[in-house]
Structure 1
Amino acid sequence: MAEREAIGRAIAEERKRQNLTQSRLALMAEINEGYLCEIEKGIANATINKLLAIAKALGIALADLLEGV
């Protein structure tokens, strides 16, 4: 659970740093906005494919999202 929360927090922080809304990032990553919200809150258990899509949409390596987890 702590890992999910840490990953979600990293996604939210990077999204905000890039001045993206959840809606915009979800569109860019081709995932449901509600699902992205749950990932950011640490509720949803994101698949590796979804994490890769989010990282790609953010223009960062997946390793950067997982750093410190």
Structure 2
Amino acid sequence: MNQLEEKINQLILLTRALAQENQSLKALLNQVRDENIALQSKMQQASSRVESLLADLPETLL
């Protein structure tokens, strides 16, 4: 029985460690998603500015 208890305790520790790692990875994923959304917004703003500047250029320059 002692060996079985040891294996069960190891399994419990592993399960807890994996749950903690999973929680950390979920938090990191949320952070990266937020950063991605912010970058997409900046890219859209930059694209809009470029389009606006191009529209203001005289056609002879294009």
Same fold (TM over 0.5): no
In terms of fraction of residues, the more helix-rich structure is 2
TM-score (norm 1): 0.27
Task: Kindly indicate whether structure 1 or structure 2 has the higher relative contact order, using CA contacts under 8 Å at least 6 residues apart.
Answer: 1
